[in-house]
């Protein structure tokens, strides 16, 4: 798999290994499956190859947490930016249509002592729709991450959240 990403980036094993910071022989062992690279090396490969999908693939396949919580790569859908936005709009509308029902069920469950089966069903329907939106957003992040500096956008977003007081300051910071 790693070789496919390197070849798609049109890099030689020598140039890629230099950029990643490993010996060409080590990179060859990663590519042959003889050695499993750590997350830091995969991140460096992803940067060198300008392909954020590599980190997604690694998390999905080489990490127990990623196997449990990462989405499958949507590799049989249009990668056209306009189509992806249209899909996001469609999935968002479906999710929004379920919010009122989920909110109503949650309000009713406060009157009782916990979530009844109706609340569980309503929230579950909304939650599945929310995951559909999240999955499309993940696809957009991978595709547009080849063109945009996602780390900069995420850093700016985290700063905005910190400025709004959305998370507690860490001790010792």
Mind listing the pLDDT tens digit for each residue in 79-105? 899 999 999 999 999 999 999 889 888
Q: Decide if pLDDT at 172 tops 70.
A: no
Mind listing the pLDDT tens digit for each residue in 104-128? 888 888 776 678 888 899 999 999 9
**pLDDT of the residue at 171:** 62
Q: 44: pLDDT confidence band, cut at 50, 70 and 90?
A: very high
Contact residues for 173 (Cβ-Cβ < 8 A; gap 6+) = none
97-101 contact pairs (CB < 8 A, 24+): 97/129, 98/122, 98/125, 98/126, 98/129, 99/126, 101/125, 101/126
- Note the CATH number of domain 2-69: 1.10.260
DSSP state string for 14-55: HHHHHHHTS-HHHHHHHHHTSSPPPHHHHHHHHHHTT-THHH
**pLDDT of the residue at 67:** 85
> DSSP code of 73?
P
Domain chopping of the chain, boundaries: 2-69, 81-163
> DSSP code of 1?
-
Q: 56: pLDDT confidence band, cut at 50, 70 and 90?
A: confident
pTM, two decimals, is: 0.74
């Amino acid at each position: 798999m790693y070789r496919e990403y390197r070849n798609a980036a049109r890099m030689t094993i020598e140039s890629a290994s230099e950029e990643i910071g490993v010996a060409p022989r080590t990179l060859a062992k990663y590519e042959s499956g003889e050695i499993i690279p750590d997350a830091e090396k995969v991140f460096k490969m992803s940067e060198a190859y300008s392909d954020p999908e590599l980190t997604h693939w690694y998390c999905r396949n080489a990490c127990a947490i990623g196997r449990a919580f990462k989405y499958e790569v949507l590799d049989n859908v249009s990668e056209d930016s306009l189509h992806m936005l249209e899909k996001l709009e469609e999935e968002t509308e479906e999710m929004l249509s379920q919010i009122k029902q989920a909110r109503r069920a949650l309000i009713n469950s406060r009157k009782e002592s916990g979530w009844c089966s109706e609340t569980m069903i309503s929230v579950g329907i909304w939650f599945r729709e929310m995951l559909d939106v999240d999955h499309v957003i993940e696809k957009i992040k991978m595709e547009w991450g080849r063109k945009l500096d996602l780390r900069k956008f995420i850093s700016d977003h985290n700063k905005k959240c910190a400025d709004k007081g959305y998370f507690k300051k860490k001790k010792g910071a």
